[in-house]
Amino acid sequence: MLRELAENFRPVAPPQLIDDAYTDDQHSRLLNIVRKNGPWPLIMAENFSTPEEVIATTSGTIPEGVKLTWDMIGLNPVFRGYLARGGTCFYPEVEDCYYNSRFLELVRNYWDCQYAEPETFLFNIQGPTPIGGPPHLDGTVFRGMTMENTPLWLLLTMAKSRLFDRWRSKKGQVIAWYYNGKVGGGFNCWPNGPSADPYQINAPMWGKAVVVENEMMFHHGQATGPVSMRKPEGMDITTKFAADPENPTGWRLETFGKVNQHVPAQEMRFLVHWGARLFKDMDDFKRTYEHTDDICAETAIGMLMDDMGKRGIAFDVPTDPLHDNAFVGLLSQAYDIGGPQNIPPDALDVAA
């Protein structure tokens, strides 16, 4: 049954490619913010507090009796920072990028909705990396439960269960890439379900972007850069990414003052993720902002436990379900919907 559910994860419309997502001036201002305001944490460090929470988001399973560690999870050297959240842009010099009329029109048309509001503006930055982990779903939100008041692992578990579609928010993204390297660096996604053929957006990707609903589509980044540089030594959950003071255009990874890797500008991949929440009409908007049909974490946890009980899954009722690692691990197994198996092979070095 859960594997069948996975086939229902398809975006509201096919991904739409656009070019020149940002002007040269906008791109320069965005990158200047990243250079000036680092260092930036790993995506994993920013989103998760325990390895069990990671498993809950990736449709993985935890063998019985195994205590997870960060070393067992593996740390992909991809880093993140936020440019805006909610209605607030953190950097006035890129307000034109966040309150972006072109993007708002694109996602309204994509969803066939009357209204849209900017919700998220973030970036991923990296040097050479392995393939971006198992294909995954982005964190969705529900009326009453958002990134501001709910752990990401719970939002994703709710989405995978499909028990909460009544409250699920409509979301759309414009995701742009800047990568001029010669090896990999693209994007794989499965808009027709995980058993269908993947759709690939391949580098070079200088200003190329996709309009999409990533919460309902399995996707991940392709391997990027020279194979010999994809696994920097000495990384841990505290490793950060920043401008390299020894190179005016370069970057570096650093862990507790020790440089793990220098990254030349040519091998830096910069992803800019703009996201909006959509409303079909004024009734849909009022339902959200007047909180006439919200859900809360207590109700959601109760619905998940009721569902597991009906399916014959035994568990001890947790006293603190949002922070109980064993319970999080159980949910990750109970709602393991799997994902694409037909993953394109890693890009290899040009000379290989």
Is 54 a domain residue?
no
Asked whether residue 349 is domain-assigned, the answer is: no
Residue 71: Cβ within 10 Å count: 10
Is pLDDT of 300 > 80?
yes
DSSP-derived 3-state class of residue 200? strand
If one counts the domains in the chain, the total is 1
Please check whether residue 332 lies inside any domain of the structure.
no
Q: Could you read off the pLDDT of 125-172 as tens digits, one per residue?
A: 999 999 877 899 998 999 999 988 999 899 999 999 999 999 999 999
Look at residue 240 and tell me if it is in a domain. yes
188 part of a folded domain: yes
Query: 161 with 335: CB under 8 angstroms?
Result: yes
Check if the beta carbon of residue 153 is closer than 8 Å to that of residue 336.
no
Rounded CA separation 190/97 (Å)? 28
Burial class (CB in 10 A: 0-12, 13-18, 19+), 178: buried
pTM for the model: 0.89
Range of the domain at 205: 2-46+76-143+168-294
Q: How many CB atoms lie within 10 A of CB 39?
A: 15
Percentage of the residues of the chain whose pLDDT score is greater than 70: 90
Q: Both tokens of residue 129?
A: 């990396």
Q: What is the pLDDT of residue 64?
A: 58
Please report whether residue 127 resides in a domain.
yes
What pLDDT, in 10s, does the model give residues 204-255?
899 999 999 999 999 999 999 999 999 999 998 899 999 999 999 999 999 9
In a domain, 94, yes or no: yes
Task: Kindly tell me if the per-residue pLDDT of 51 is higher than 80.
Answer: no
CATH number, domain containing residue 231: 2.60.120.620
Residue 243 within a domain: yes
Residue 324 pLDDT greater than 70, yes or no: yes
pLDDT in tens, 69-90: 555 456 889 999 999 998 899 9
Mean pLDDT of 94-109: 98
Q: Which residue has the higher pLDDT, 347 or 193?
A: 193
Rounded CA-CA distance 270/127 in Å is 9
| pLDDT for 44 | 82
- pLDDT, mean of residues 267-278: 97
